Amino acid sequence: MKIMHITSPIESETIEELTAGAQVLISGIIYVARDAAHQRLIQALDKEEKLPFDPNGQTIYYMGPSPAKPGQAIGSAGPTTSSRMDIYTPRLIAAGIKAMIGKGNRSPAVKEAIKKYKAIYFAAIGGAGALLAKSIKQAEVIAYEDLGTEAILRLKVDNFPAIVANDIYGGDLFEQGKAKYQRSG
């Protein structure tokens, strides 16, 4: 299978080309946000306040960064469990987020929002945080600094590896994997 090079922010036309199981290398800007940051983003939307970044076309990476060593942009940068953000995700997709990166499967509500708003969910390799960090060229806190490791970060990435887990056509890599290895009768 061919590896597709894509740029974030992600265009709708690019998302239309991606199907579950496709391998991608992402370059450009992605944002890091986890549970506490997601809660604040939703509170801001509820109050009709401006978000700390323009969500249109953006990618959110569910990642808990570790401190950078001298000469590095970031320490280990592995994905965290995506389902923890599922209660917030449909609303953020509706607000313009086009892609999410994490590990593990998503709820039916998230998968429906992905189809409805033409978004995408990528899986990153868990346990490979040091390797993934090599794709991160810059990292800076842009919002909610008081949250410490849960603050929102803006990352500049170059060839960040991921796999399409959920696409706009209803494709689900996790379900495909189960079906492939399920014993018959």
pLDDT reported for residue 57: 97
Looking at the chain, the number of H-run helices and the number of E-run strands are: 6, 7
Residue-averaged pLDDT of the chain: 94
State residue 1's pLDDT score. Answer: 67
pLDDT higher than threshold 90 for residue 103: yes
- Structure tokens given for 18: 């991606």
- Residue whose pair of structure tokens reads 């999410």 in the numeric block: 100
Query: At 178, is the secondary structure helix, strand, or coil?
Result: helix
Please, is 148 exposed, middle or buried when counting C-beta atoms within 10 Å of its C-beta (0-12, 13-18, 19+)? exposed
Under the banding of pLDDT at 50, 70 and 90, the label for residue 68 is confident
Q: Dihedral angle at the C-alpha atoms of 17, 138, 101, 158, nearest 10 degrees?
A: 30
* Structural domain 3-177, CATH architecture: Alpha-Beta Barrel (3.20)
Mean pLDDT of 171-185: 79
Global pTM exceeds 0.85: yes
CA distance 69 to 125: 22
- Cα distances (angstroms) measured from residue 9 to each of 6, 54, 119, 184: 9, 10, 12, 42
Whether the pLDDT of residue 37 is over 70: the answer is yes
* Mean pLDDT in residue range 78-101: 97
